[in-house]
Amino acid sequence: MSHSDFDLTSQNESVDSKIIATLERLSQAFRVLLWQESKEFSLSPIQVQLLIFILHHSEEKCRVSYLADEFNMTKATISDSVKALIQKDLVKKEFQQHDTRSYLIHLTTKGQKVADKASRFTTEIRKPIESMDESNKENLLKSLLDTVLHLNQTGIITIQRMCQTCRFYQKDSEGQDHFCALLHRPLHIADHRIDCPEHELIG
Amino acid sequence: MSHSDFDLTSQNESVDSKIIATLERLSQAFRVLLWQESKEFSLSPIQVQLLIFILHHSEEKCRVSYLADEFNMTKATISDSVKALIQKDLVKKEFQQHDTRSYLIHLTTKGQKVADKASRFTTEIRKPIESMDESNKENLLKSLLDTVLHLNQTGIITIQRMCQTCRFYQKDSEGQDHFCALLHRPLHIADHRIDCPEHELIG
DNA sequence: GTTCAATAGTTAGGACTCCTTAGTTTTAGC
DNA sequence: GCTAAAACTAAGGAGTCCTAACTATTGAAC
């Protein structure tokens, strides 16, 4: 077979497939990094994820049911992991008067330290992104946000805290200009959030 | 607190962080979709991944050690999964004369059907990407390839089958024009491969 | 040619994941 | 007050993924 028999376009997959394949690789990288990080702290991957989530989110989100939705797992699974974290003295329960079925999960001082260190597990993925120029970053963010939005709408990603699914989000008729009615501000692409603390679902 | 107290730039994270967060969400989407797909076929996630890999790759790559590297797992883990797949009559071993320690893993007819169906588990992720316009796709691919390349170089993703790590890959002094010495062709961004069958490592 | 280290794969045992099913307790609607 | 729904827990099971110890084969060194 001579080299001219190779044909890049027909032999190889489409650009779409390549993007998917690349995203799959990145997905694997997250898995590997999380696993490494877990080992370092003698925790399980899900335990690390819980700690990091609690560190970065307001207390009303730190309940078993919410976390189960967040991580696409059952409440039983989360309940187990929380039990393990309590035994390791990394989180503690805080019951409330008005509903004693539920409780808030708080980090202990020790838990805070661990969560803080562990949240750096994406450092290696961050580096190549930091070195991109700003317009590339914006384009990349826009493409990725569009993809996540679609996955939100089809129910594969259940958690909804991005601007496009928020009741404060407004768009002009051409779909060009975006606006946040809570902040009273136009939203440029770089302003769009993927995990907004003020998010409220439409409807 | 009045709305003007909100400050998008200071209160919120950087674009970098948002990109990471979005990639993390996508990573989760892959995990969820793979899990759903697994359940549908009464297989485990790793078993599905193995079937899909074997379907799309040449037989010399379908050995326990190679697959362990590919999926960042130990040989023991892969060995177990292969045993399970054999019991389910989805793959079979093929021993070779020159080295009877090792064997090639082939799909059975049944395995081929399952792998073919299962490989559609990324369909939902593909849809939003398909609907992007071509120049966006190329930019996206380029950004993602750069990121994967970095992760390859730092050893987080061990498997190397992308153009930039191939001995046939050539770049001009400005780093603008790319060329494949095996195919004797210039490589535009859309031509870059993430999983080239002809890949040979530098050195 | 035999010995010895490296290589390919397996087995066994353990911690953790994540599920399902089946509870308990509490809350809230009628 | 009664009942349905909700929040969480418990128990049990299949699967993940590891480490460590093992067998068998290969290949290179003497």
Strand C: positions under 7 A of a protein C-beta atom: 7-13, 16-22, 25-28
HEC assignment per residue over chain A:
CCHHHCCHHHHCCCHHHHHHHHHHHHHHHHHHHHHHHHHHHCCCHHHHHHHHHHHHCCHHHCCHHHHHHHCCCCHHHHHHHHHHHHHCCCEEEEECCCCCCCEEEEECHHHHHHHHHHHHHHHHHHHHHHCCCHHHHHHHHHHHHHHHHHHHHCCCCCCCCCHHHECCEEECCCCCCEEECCCCEEECHHHCCCCCCCCCECC
* pLDDT at residue A1, rounded to an integer: 39
* pLDDT at residue A13, rounded to an integer: 67
pLDDT bracket for residue B7 (50, 70, 90):
very low
Q: How is the beta sheet containing B178-180 ordered, strand by strand?
A: B169-171, B178-180, B185-187
What is the rounded CA–CA span in Å between residue A82 and residue B43?
A: 28
Residues facing residue B92 across a β-bridge: B106
Tokens 């398909």 sit on residue:
B130
Closest CA to B85 of B119, B118, B55, B44: B44
What is the rounded CA–CA span in Å between residue B118 and residue B45?
A: 11
* pLDDT at residue B108, rounded to an integer: 93
Average pLDDT over residues B131-144: 88
Q: Which residue has the higher pLDDT, A54 or A14?
A: A54
Q: Which residue has the higher pLDDT, A51 or B169?
A: A51
Confidence check: pLDDT of A36 > 70: yes
Residues facing residue B107 across a β-bridge: B91
* pLDDT at residue B80, rounded to an integer: 92
Confidence check: pLDDT of B36 > 60: yes
Q: Distance, angstroms, CA B64 to C1' C7?
A: 12
* pLDDT at residue A203, rounded to an integer: 62
Nearest residue to nucleotide C11 when comparing alpha carbons to its C1'? Answer: B76
Q: Which residue has the higher pLDDT, A202 or A139?
A: A139
Q: What is the C-alpha R_g of chain A? A: 21
| pTM, 2 dp | 0.85
Confidence check: pLDDT of A10 > 50: no
Average pLDDT over residues B94-105: 88
Please tell me which of A151-160, A188-197, B39-48 the model is most confident about, judged by mean pLDDT.
B39-48
A vs B: CB pairs below 8 A: 196
In this complex, the nucleotide whose C1' atom is nearest to the CA atom of residue B80 is C10
pLDDT bracket for residue B185 (50, 70, 90):
confident
Q: In a 10 Å sphere around its CB, with 0-12 CB exposed, 13-18 middle and 19+ buried, how is residue B45 labelled?
A: middle
Q: Which residue has the higher pLDDT, A55 or A165?
A: A55
List chain B residues with CB under 8 Å of A191.
8, 12
* pLDDT at residue B11, rounded to an integer: 37
Q: What percentage of chain B reaches a pLDDT higher than 70?
A: 93
Q: Which of A6, A27, A182 sits opposite B183 (nearest CB)?
A: A6
Number of C-beta neighbours around residue B146 at 10 A: 18
Confidence check: pLDDT of B5 > 50: no
Please tell me which of A15-24, B70-79, B140-149, B165-174 the model is most confident about, judged by mean pLDDT.
B70-79
Residue A71 is which amino acid?
Answer: F
Whole-angstrom CA distances from B170 to B167, B175, B179, B200 are 8, 9, 5, 13
Average pLDDT over residues A40-55: 91
DSSP B106: E
Q: Indicate the average pLDDT of chain B.
A: 83
For the stretch A89-117, pLDDT in tens is 899 988 887 888 889 999 999 999 999 99
The half-sphere exposure of A203 on its side-chain side, counting CA atoms within 13 A, is 2
Query: Tokens in use for B177?
Result: 């024009």
Q: Indicate the average pLDDT of chain A.
A: 82
* pLDDT at residue A21, rounded to an integer: 87
DSSP letter string, B117-181:
HHGGGGHHHHHHHHTS-HHHHHHHHHHHHHHHHHHHHTTSS----SGGGBTTEEE-TTS--EEET
